[in-house]
Amino acid sequence: MDEPPGKKATIKDLLGNRCRYCEDVVMDEASASITHSYWSGFPFICHKSCKDEGVKLEAFDCQTIDADCNDCKHYERGVLAPETVSQLKRTDGRIVEVVHKPNVFIGGCCLKFNRTTVASPNKWSGYECFEHRRL
Ligand SMILES: [Zn+2]
């Protein structure tokens, strides 16, 4: 894309001019903000005034589709699973350590069925027993 020398790309140049949440045109930089999609984290433009409510509603919708214990009203939170360290041998023979930080909560409890459960934020589980904690 050709631009006049010295002109900095604006938010609208990069992300278009339609608000992610209300779909109206974002008229100026002063009322614009950047938001990110819930699952993939892609950047989008939105009105500053739409952002807080839009982020909340999108999260609620996506969490309802995910239907994981993490956002269920019957879930009693466990603890974040500990990170694990593996050793891998590279093709040049060197050993390197790889740290894995799982984004999973273990040791939690489903109070609906009175059993331990694992919760995975931002992951689709599709549990039919799911009821959003904000309902
Ligand atoms: Zn808007």
Domain ranges of the chain: 1-65, 67-135
Element (H, E) at 51: helix 48-66
User: What residues are neighbours of ligand 1 (ion), with CB under 5 Å?
Assistant: 19, 21-22, 47, 50
Expressed in angstroms and rounded, the spacing between residue 45 Cα and the centre of ligand 1 is 9
pLDDT score recorded for residue 94: 95
Q: Is the pLDDT of residue 2 over 80?
A: no
Backbone φ/ψ region at 122: left (φ over 0), alpha (ψ -120 to 50), beta: left
Cα separations in angstroms, 74 against 3, 39, 118, 124, 130: 54, 23, 13, 17, 8
Over residues 46-93, the pLDDT tens digits come to 999 999 999 999 999 999 999 999 999 999 999 999 999 999 999 999
pLDDT digits (tens, 9 = 90+) for 100-122: 999 999 999 999 999 999 999 99
CA of 42 to the centre of ligand 1 (A): 17
22 CA → ligand 1 middle, Å: 4
Contacts of 56 (CB under 8 A, 6+ apart): none
**Residue 7 pLDDT > 60, yes or no?**
yes
